[in-house]
Structure 1
Amino acid sequence: MKTSLLLFVITALSTPAFSQSRLMTYGDALGAPSTLVLSNVAPNTKCMIIPSFLNSGSNALVNMSGDPNDSLLVGVDLAANGTRFTKISNAQGIASVTLSIPPSPSMLDRAVYWQGFEWPAGGSGTSMFNNFSNMRTMSLNTGDRWQAEQSNAPVSAALQAYIGYSSTGNGGVDRVFACGGGPAVLTDATIPFATNGNTWEYSLENGTHTLLPGTMNDSRAFHNVVQLQDGRFMVIGGNQGPYGSGSNYYTKILRTCEIYDPATGTWSYTANMAKHRAGANARLLPDGRVIVTGGSEGNASNNLGDIADLLGTSLKTSEIYDPVTDTWVYGPNMSEPKAGAMSVVLNDGRWMIAGGITYVTIFGLSIPDFSNNISIYNPSTNSFSNAGSMKEKRALGAMSVMGNGSVFIAGGGGGDILNIGPLNDTEVYNPANNSTTRKANLSNTAAFPAVVTLQDGSVFIIGGATGTLDDPLPINKTWTYNPAANSLTAADDMPEAHAGGAAVTMEDGTVYLSGGETNNGAATSAARSYSPN
């Protein structure tokens, strides 16, 4: 192993790690360790991993081997001076190196490009270098700090549907699939709500976004997306606009669904749901089918013009889709209607749905309200059951399963139905005994926040909006909840406000964030990465 005292001085240590099918790095903070994992290489073979400040490629290895296929994606500016790492792969075909990133402030936000390959002993000509990896982009950061991604999202959108997934099958989230969305304000009849049908993807490997080929047949926002077992993506319902004019703009709530095939870059309709649904909840079932429940069906014409069309029009029915037969059937009902509810899959595979906009019927009249009900769906029995209540009635909040299996719940909108406003309270739900416990309040109220669980089991709460549901005022605040210490602390402010965007914890431990409403009241395409402490 060779090192040099250049701008990027690195001390390398050997350590086991895991990954699949490519080069991945774990850790990007100045003055902290980082692990490089080169996988899917030949067992017990010498490998090399090289860093560079250049992503323009190099023919240095071609000049050594004479093989035109040995062109690098990265430069050899650092490797030529000795900053390169050799390692014999283990029996599983994994070569892992741990290094120390220098604590140099001048390196903050600098991109380092990495690539690995096999360099078998005795190889020559076309067998001198083999099995080149992807190029991995590491953007140097410090702990508890936001930084810009290598590119912004290709579309400015709020209320888009998104899902993090693994492109390698190893369970680590290294991609984010997103589609649709619209402006920030959903229920203002004086503002046209123009939805889009675009599809895009974020790649952790290089920190960039790609606008994917094909657009949805129906542009939509406030919809759901799930990844099917065969790797395709299914979108469900939502609302579409703009329709109307003047001070009477509205959107149409959809019952159409579509499937995106990444192999062909095309969208195709599925069978329609029985009900029109926007702001519903959906998940993939263990048997490959898809369940959707709740949502708003809008007014009698299935339109959504103002908040009155959202209140009192939620559903308690569920429907289940079979991709093999392209058919929908009704599933079990929840105990109450819900739209804009929060949902997570618990560690035991059950599906928790909490809160939402609901209503009760009195003398034939629908009286809208916010819900504190917790309903759990059991796939093995195909049934919903009540499982306790939250301390606060809320909708349009966020929640995430913590490392200990409990569920952290934050923010949302609630209060008196005649005086609707965002909330700042948090609570934790214990699925073992169906109980909730109040936790510390956020320093700001926040509807449409994001909540993700970090790799250490703590929770990260991101942005949201204060103001009102008709006139949200996005914030740039973030917080961390530590379940072991039962503490809520302020984290680094975002460079701009985000409410209703996409947020995912990635395989390398960073948090990806893009889109949503921002400071000027419009949707944003800004994409950021957060490195925890």
Structure 2
Amino acid sequence: MLTHIDYEHFLEWVYTGNMIFARAVHTASILADGKVVVAGGCCNGAENRAELYDPSTGSWTTTGNLTHGRQLHTASILANGKVLVVGGEGGEGVSSSAELYDPSTGGWDTTGNTIYPRWMHQASVLTNGKVLVTGGVVDEGVFQKATELYDPSTGSWTHIGDLRYERNWLTASVLTNGKVLVTGGYNYQDGYVSVTELYDPSTDSWTTTGNLTNVRTYHTACVFNDGKVLITGGLNGDVGLLTSTELYDPSTGSWTTTGNLNVPRMFSTASLLTDGKILVIGGEVYESTTLNSAELYDPSTGSWTLIDSLNSARLFHTSSILTDGKVLVTGGYNVYYQSTAELYDPSM
């Protein structure tokens, strides 16, 4: 007797509801109630639009529009549950504007402008609740070295010193000791930056730390629960796309190589799963080939394993760990801007 097998039940990736607006280079932030707010991005009218994903229904609803349309901005969850959106590029050029999303009202309110306009930057929420903004680009060929702090209690920004090396497409990771590690990136004067830097909130100062083994930009960074940082892939102009990955140990300030990715990639995302593994998703290889592959890093073995592929190839997407441990991937680009979203279930 033949028995029907529901193969979809065993798939690691499944589609969920489509976003209302197709978009890429947007942000996705998990709210205190478990919903996800997606904001801004490119293109086709998405720049000032925001929408909410409800994991309990798998559906999207519109929420308040951003005051300023933007792409390649940052979004940070504050201690009070609001979302701080900073900078980016919009119809009026590179922005210094910042605004706050209030989940209780679904509205956006402007807050203090950054001192320096920027996009392609990073924002990090510190243990004291303030937000550190680093790097980015001011204008064509003009890179940002200045760093600044946002104080939610006053809504104002303070310049707290400069990076040693200006850079865009950097990563900035909050370590378990409260410091912030900046890695990689590029600028026209120095090229690909191998020097990594540490911000210490207790002294408001920057210091250099160990150099990367392989210089790179367009890479990812993830902080493990033990405090180490894994960076993956990216681009090195002299070598090309990278499969190499390396680990930073804050106790020694040094980098060591670990297992290579199975697929070289840039513009991917990396997420720390609840079981301690890291999931790298999608991205791009040369000649505008978008990837649908995904792979898992196991810190106990230092090795990578390819898993089921995404249903849709994508780059410039987002990936978010939901409260139930699943991973929500939204939007991105593959020939066209995408409205699709899909879920990865680590338990499958």
TM normalised by structure 2 equals 0.92
Matched, 1:508 2:324: yes
Q: Is the 8 A contact 2:35 2:54 kept in 1?
A: yes
**How many residues were matched structurally?**
345
Using the alignment, how far apart are the partners of 2:278 and 2:321 within structure 1?
10
Q: Is the 8 A contact 1:393 1:415 kept in 2?
A: no
Q: Which residue of 1 aligns with 2:150?
A: 321
Using the alignment, how far apart are the partners of 1:433 and 1:203 within structure 2?
42
Q: Describe how 1:89-100 pairs up with structure 2 within 5 A.
A: none
Using the alignment, how far apart are the partners of 1:436 and 1:210 within structure 2?
44
Q: Which residue of 2 aligns with 1:440?
A: 259
**Could you say what secondary structure the match of 2:231 adopts?**
strand
Using the alignment, how far apart are the partners of 1:527 and 1:211 within structure 2?
15
Match of 1:181 among 38, 41, 45: 41
Matched, 1:476 2:292: yes
Q: Which residue of 2 aligns with 1:494?
A: 310
Cα distance per residue 1:399-457 (max 9 Å; x no partner): 111243321111222224xx9x5332222222221222222332332111111111111
**Could you say what secondary structure the match of 2:138 adopts?**
coil
Question: Which of the pair has the greater relative contact order for Cα pairs under 8 Å at 6+ separation?
Answer: 2
Using the alignment, how far apart are the partners of 2:273 and 2:152 within structure 1?
33
Cα distance per residue 1:367-419 (max 9 Å; x no partner): 25111222122222222221212212112211111243321111222224xx9
Q: Describe how 1:421-440 pairs up with structure 2 within 5 A.
A: 421-440=240-259
Match of 1:292 among 130, 133, 137: 133
Q: Which residue of 1 aligns with 2:159?
A: 330
Match of 1:145 among 12, 20, 28: 12
**Could you say what secondary structure the match of 1:389 adopts?**
coil
Aligned residue identity for 1:256: S
Identify if the C-alpha distance between structure 1 residues 262 and 505 changes in structure 2 by more than 3 Å, giving closer, same or farther. Answer: closer
Match of 2:60 among 209, 213, 217: 209
Using the alignment, how far apart are the partners of 1:331 and 1:438 within structure 2?
32
RMSD of aligned residue pairs (Cα, Å):
2.1
Q: Which residue of 1 aligns with 2:111?
A: 270
Cα distance per residue 1:8-32 (max 9 Å; x no partner): xxxxxxxxxxxxxxxxxxxxxxxxx
Using the alignment, how far apart are the partners of 2:41 and 2:311 within structure 1?
22
Cα distance per residue 1:153-200 (max 9 Å; x no partner): 222111102223432xxxxxx3322200014xxxxxxxxx97611112
Using the alignment, how far apart are the partners of 2:201 and 2:293 within structure 1?
37
Q: Describe how 1:191-230 pairs up with structure 2 within 5 A.
A: 196-212=47-63, 214-230=64-80
Q: 1:479 deviation in Å?
A: 0.8
Q: 1:278 deviation in Å?
A: 0.2
Using the alignment, how far apart are the partners of 1:404 and 1:284 within structure 2?
19
Q: Describe how 1:13-92 pairs up with structure 2 within 5 A.
A: none
Q: 1:506 deviation in Å?
A: 2.2
Q: Which residue of 1 aligns with 2:25?
A: 159
Q: Which residue of 1 aligns with 2:187?
A: 358
Q: Is the 8 A contact 1:356 1:371 kept in 2?
A: yes
Find runs of 4+ consecutive structure 1 residues off by over 6 angstroms.
Answer: none
Match of 1:238 among 82, 85, 88: 88
Using the alignment, how far apart are the partners of 1:265 and 1:510 within structure 2?
25
Aligned residue identity for 1:448: F
Q: Which residue of 2 aligns with 1:24?
A: none
430-439 or 453-462, which moves further after superposition?
430-439
Cα distance per residue 1:235-283 (max 9 Å; x no partner): 1000114xxxxxxxxx711111111222222222222222110011112
**Could you say what secondary structure the match of 2:196 adopts?**
strand
User: Per residue, is there more strand in 1 or in 2?
Assistant: 2
Using the alignment, how far apart are the partners of 2:4 and 2:128 within structure 1?
51
Using the alignment, how far apart are the partners of 2:153 and 2:263 within structure 1?
46
Computing the radius of gyration over CA atoms, which structure comes out larger, 1 or 2? 1
Cα distance per residue 1:98-128 (max 9 Å; x no partner): xxxxxx964555xxxxxxxxxxxxxxxxxxx
TM normalised by structure 1 equals 0.61
Q: 1:206 deviation in Å?
A: 2.7
Using the alignment, how far apart are the partners of 1:105 and 1:339 within structure 2?
52
Using the alignment, how far apart are the partners of 1:105 and 1:463 within structure 2?
32
Q: 1:484 deviation in Å?
A: 0.5
Identify if the C-alpha distance between structure 1 residues 483 and 233 changes in structure 2 by more than 3 Å, giving closer, same or farther. Answer: same
Q: Is the 8 A contact 1:341 1:395 kept in 2?
A: yes
Aligned residue identity for 1:287: N
Aligned residue identity for 1:430: D
Q: Is the 8 A contact 1:353 1:376 kept in 2?
A: yes
Using the alignment, how far apart are the partners of 2:42 and 2:190 within structure 1?
26
Cα distance per residue 1:451-481 (max 9 Å; x no partner): 111111111111110115xxx3210011111
Aligned residue identity for 1:240: G
Q: Is the 8 A contact 2:21 2:46 kept in 1?
A: no
Q: Is the 8 A contact 2:210 2:254 kept in 1?
A: yes
Identify if the C-alpha distance between structure 1 residues 195 and 338 changes in structure 2 by more than 3 Å, giving closer, same or farther. Answer: farther
Q: Which residue of 2 aligns with 1:384?
A: 206
In the alignment, structure 1 segments of 5+ residues that lack a partner are 1-103, 110-140, 168-173, 184-192, 242-250, 299-308, 360-366
Aligned residue identity for 1:530: Y
Q: Is the 8 A contact 1:422 1:465 kept in 2?
A: no
Q: 1:219 deviation in Å?
A: 0.5
Match of 1:412 among 226, 234, 238: 234
